[in-house]
Amino acid sequence: MANINLSDFILKQVTSSASKVDIPSNLKDQVLGGLSDSIFGSLTQTATKKGGIDEIKELLTGKANPVNSSITALAGNLFTKNIVSKLNLGSLGTSLTALIPGIMGKLGGILKDQDGDGDVDLNDILITLKGGNKSTSAGSGLLGAATSILGGLLKKK
């Protein structure tokens, strides 16, 4: 998947997976956005911890089982804390949180050698977060934060 924008890809997977759940129309945008933000947030938070880049690489190359991933667990915790409890979703929140491992599983295999150096490394993660091989600016919000966090880690290596 060349030229992929990870945040857009996550939102597409969230929207597709959540279509099986009856979400009240007045909450749909908040819920879908919250799921996407929670998943992307778990990736950015994982990037800042020791060994996090390797965890992300394992998940995004499809080598890690998303059900057992700490990244998936963190996404579920973020969604529960930031969306389920604030919107008082109850059992609907449980159903939506249960979608996260499947969504994370769909992210497996999207990370490839994008810079042509023969391996999947931090630079490939950065290229994927920025939107693939195309030349794009880092952007704002979670994408900008992830890019600056990963960029800072890249300079440390």
| DSSP three-state, residue 17 | helix
Residuewise pLDDT in 10s, the chain (157 residues): 445 577 888 889 999 999 989 999 999 999 999 999 999 999 989 988 999 988 988 888 888 899 999 999 999 999 999 999 999 999 999 999 999 999 998 887 776 666 677 776 767 766 666 655 444 344 444 445 555 555 555 554 4
Range of the domain at 22: 6-156
Q: Is 14 exposed, middle or buried (0-12, 13-18, 19+ CB in 10 A)?
A: buried
1 belongs to a structural domain: no
- What total number of domains does the chain contain? 1
